[in-house]
Amino acid sequence: MHRFFLSFVVIAVAITLVSLDAFAAERLIQVDRRSQVSRADLNFDTPATRDEEGMPVGNGRTGSLVWTSPSALKMQINRVDVHAMDSTTTSFQRADSDYGSVCGYVDINVAGGGEDVF
């Protein structure tokens, strides 16, 4: 019984020392998480003028690309479970490179005959 207790204490002390050493080593490595994550940032310096350049917005199932023309905000509504192409489609001018899951397009005209907004 005495040997069992002594073995238990030795193992507990060894585990404690190893874990303390691991925590100390972890503190020695300083990682700048902000700069690490910022490499994946999307930077839009000017409004996107083509749909391929649009800002993706969505929840993983339904989404949109948002871009602009000089007087309108344009959106392409997409859904993951819709594939609107087959061998007879005329929906897309470039069927081999356009998006195949478009549910619709929305254009919001924001200029009423005045200066261009974007």
pLDDT in tens, 19-41: 665 555 556 677 888 888 888 88
What does DSSP assign to residue 42? -
Query: What residue ranges do the domains of the chain occupy?
Result: 2-38, 51-109
Instruction: Record the pTM.
Output: 0.48
pLDDT in tens, 30-88: 788 888 888 888 777 887 888 778 888 888 888 888 888 888 888 888 887 776 566 66
What type of residue sits at position 38?
S
Q: Match 């594939």 to its residue by tokens.
A: 83
Torsions phi, psi for 66 (to 5 deg): -115, 130
3-state secondary structure of 78: strand
Q: How far is Cα 72 from Cα 75, in angstroms, rounded to an integer? A: 10
